Structure 1
Amino acid sequence: MTMRKAVPASVEAMIEDLGRLVRTESPSDDPTALKASAGVVAEMIEGRLGGRAAIVELDGLPHVHWSGGGEPAVLVLGHHDTVFPLGTLERRPFTVADGRATGPGVFDMLGGLVQAVHGLATLDDLSGVEILVTADEEVGSRSSRALIEERALACGAVLVFEGAADGGGLKTARKGTGGFHVTVTGRASHAGLEPEAGVNALIEAAHQVLAIAALGRPGLGTTVTPTVATAGTAENVVPASATVLVDVRVETRDEKERVEAAFAALTPYVEGATIAVSGGIGRPPMPEAASAALFAVARELLPGVEGRAVGGGSDGNFTAALGVPTLDGLGAVGGGAHSDDEYLLVGSMVERAELVAGLVRAIRRN
């Protein structure tokens, strides 16, 4: 059990920690940078909450886990990896001006981590609380998923500190997300001398793009969007290969199964062409039912806060799919995730930190 002296949430202290995190760049594809970032996260947790934050290395990636001791009751979940490459900070340094903090990762989701830790610091008893900060959320959580699911089941309730929805709303439902890679193989030939001797992979890919796009069901919340296509080597060569990348979002498990089955059943249109499909919907949908009880508590603590269903996925999708009560979007209020315009509203930081503390108290009472 971690008993400690409670410390009121301070904007100045939160900005100090946020600046240190942002200045430690943490692109998902750089294990060395991620190790440095994990060290800063661990130091922040230990410095503000006491105890020891363990670095759990899985597939070479460093995830941070901390426990307040006692019977597990609530998992505070986040990630420290960001989408921005090394060097972004030089072009876009951490800055606080006119009520906004800017810099790579302030909204998604370093600001949420800081608010969560400082919110917990306002409690004098942290028993039952666990924190898990992963290093690969932005690239699918392949190394961390099993650990996330294990701790979620052990704790029985999950608070996810991804950035808030528009206007500061909480994220009460998320679509399942995934992607597919369609590879078309044909046969090359001279486009002028004997085009008929080739098998045009680009034409086959064009047929597949139309068939794939038709799998969407907007009325059911299902989007199937071809996003990247490549083919060919030269203007006078019938292309022997082509690839198509596809983004998929679904609201229900039935739609997940339908779309995955449809991709598996794709067949060639052009004689002689072959198709290979890889990928899938890795993050299952997060249904509104998973967040209902926790959202009701949040509305009592922060009257007027709205719940939003959103298209993006998070690690909360995994925990909700297990049947573990999960509330998302508890992190920074701001916007511009994954863009040069990313920002955090400083004036909301204390309120959101206090919301964390209130939710933890309520969960442990129950």
Structure 2
Amino acid sequence: MAGPGLVAHMTEALPRMLADLETLVSCESPSADLDAVAASADVVAEVGTARLGVRPERIVIEGRTHLRWRLGDAPRRVLLLGHHDTVWPIGSLLSHPFSIVDGLIRGPGCFDMKAGLVMAFHAAAALPDPSGVTILVTGDEEMGSPTSRRLVEEEASGCAAALVLEASADGGALKTGRKGVSLYEVAVRGRAAHAGLEPERGVNATVELAHQVLAVSALPDPGRGTTVTPTLLTSGNTTNTVPDAGRFAVDVRVRDVAEQSRVDRAMRALRAVLPGSRLEIGGGPNRPPLERDASAALFARAVAVAGRLGMPEPVGVAVGGASDGNLTAGVGTPTLDGLGAVGGGAHADDEHVFVAELPRRSALLAALTADLLAGPPLTDARQATESSGPLQADRP
């Protein structure tokens, strides 16, 4: 099945896709709730098994539940990657029930990214021979993949390509680049004293934190797209005491590894300003950047496949947010992200998916997967960049 016939097939399957998506969305799965994620894994396993005809491996790491389908006996070649955990707490369905109104699907996690899981199952099921395809569905991506990181990296390192089912960028754009993420905590130790009677005997952690926040705020490089943002800050315990301890978090986003290393060196080089205070710097690089060289050849293939399907030429954009696509690219696997649902409102009250785009998007995923299974090796990234479709500027 190829060309427009594949789009027609996915259009015919749309009622089943919508039913599957309602089933997934109706099982709430906030990342921090281990029981909820385990229950969601059961539901995802049932939906996937019904479409693929084979049950997944259930992988539990530190209480967090992940699923893996390795289809057929051929060597692993294409990884379809997604997650079933969401940012929505239990009870969100009461205020954000699953619905389909005026062509929009709504419900917690529909866009980020349970629609992408449905697409993966239906796309793989549409392949004449899915042998060589792995579908990996993790349960802690929204927390930064603390237990699934190694699983993702090991699975990707054995594949020729990773296709990430995170939701699309604005207008359905594919994600050809993602910033790398570093996360730090700057902790200050001072000395307590009575704020009214003898403040001079104290070492004020709040004042030291102020010096350090200003130092960290000087590290961004807007010209290179590097952001270094102090975020959550706490200090002291009572209003009449010179605080003896405090801390703040730092969120770093970078386009390239060189910038990630520069910021890391600068964070490690921070020094206390007030006599008697001490600093402790924790954290570091969390996810490497997904640089465009890692996606260029795959994006070029997607453009060619879309043309054969009679679909508009895809647009590729670089975005600031991170995903497990950063991890697959970090181990050297060609990676294309944002192949999931078209819609908007991720993590927000207006989260939604466009019904009409599900068949076309699923057809593109199936055709690209088939092309990678049967086609020649990926072309050189520099050649692909020159010949591929339009790449737009960075998005948040």
What TM-score bracket applies, with the shorter chain setting the length? Answer: over 0.9
State yes or no: 1:297 paired with 2:301. Answer: yes
1:280 and 1:108 map into 2 onto residues whose CA distance is 26
Aligned to 2:214: 210
1:87 and 1:260 map into 2 onto residues whose CA distance is 39
Alpha-carbon contact 1:173-1:308 (below 8 Å) kept: yes
1:158-307 aligned within 5 A: 158-302=162-306, 303-307=312-316
The amino acid that maps onto 1:327 is L
Alpha-carbon contact 2:184-2:282 (below 8 Å) kept: yes
Alpha-carbon contact 1:71-1:128 (below 8 Å) kept: yes
- Offset from partner CA, 1:286-317 (integer Å, 9 cap, x none): 11011111101111222321000000111111
1:347 and 1:195 map into 2 onto residues whose CA distance is 66
Question: How far 1:232 sits from its partner (Å)?
Answer: 2.0
Alpha-carbon contact 1:27-1:81 (below 8 Å) kept: yes
Question: For this pair of structures, how many residues does the alignment match?
Answer: 361
Match of 2:219, SS state, is: coil
Aligned to 2:348: 339
Of 28-37 and 141-150, more deviation after overlay is shown by 141-150
1:93-112 aligned within 5 A: 93-112=97-116
1:75 and 1:171 map into 2 onto residues whose CA distance is 16
Alpha-carbon contact 2:182-2:260 (below 8 Å) kept: no
Of 116-125 and 348-357, more deviation after overlay is shown by 116-125
The amino acid that maps onto 2:9 is P
Give the superposed CA RMSD. 1.3
1:310-329 aligned within 5 A: 310-329=319-338
Match of 1:123, SS state, is: coil
Match of 1:111, SS state, is: helix
2:95 and 2:182 map into 1 onto residues whose CA distance is 31
1:279 and 1:14 map into 2 onto residues whose CA distance is 41
Aligned to 1:47: 50
1:144 and 1:67 map into 2 onto residues whose CA distance is 17
Structure 2 unaligned spans of 5+ = 1-5, 307-311, 377-396
- Offset from partner CA, 1:160-191 (integer Å, 9 cap, x none): 00010111000001100121111111111111
Match of 2:242, SS state, is: coil
Question: How far 1:154 sits from its partner (Å)?
Answer: 1.3
The amino acid that maps onto 1:37 is S
Alpha-carbon contact 2:185-2:250 (below 8 Å) kept: yes
Aligned to 1:348: 357
Match of 2:54, SS state, is: coil
Question: How far 1:124 sits from its partner (Å)?
Answer: 2.5
Aligned to 1:3: none
2:58 and 2:43 map into 1 onto residues whose CA distance is 11
State yes or no: 1:12 paired with 2:21. Answer: no
1:159 and 1:54 map into 2 onto residues whose CA distance is 20
Match of 1:155, SS state, is: coil
| 1:144 aligned to which of 145, 148, 156 | 148
Question: How far 1:66 sits from its partner (Å)?
Answer: 0.3
1:341 and 1:188 map into 2 onto residues whose CA distance is 47
Alpha-carbon contact 1:171-1:310 (below 8 Å) kept: yes
Match of 1:291, SS state, is: helix
Match of 2:241, SS state, is: coil
Aligned-pair identity in percent equals 52
- TM (norm. structure 2) is 0.89
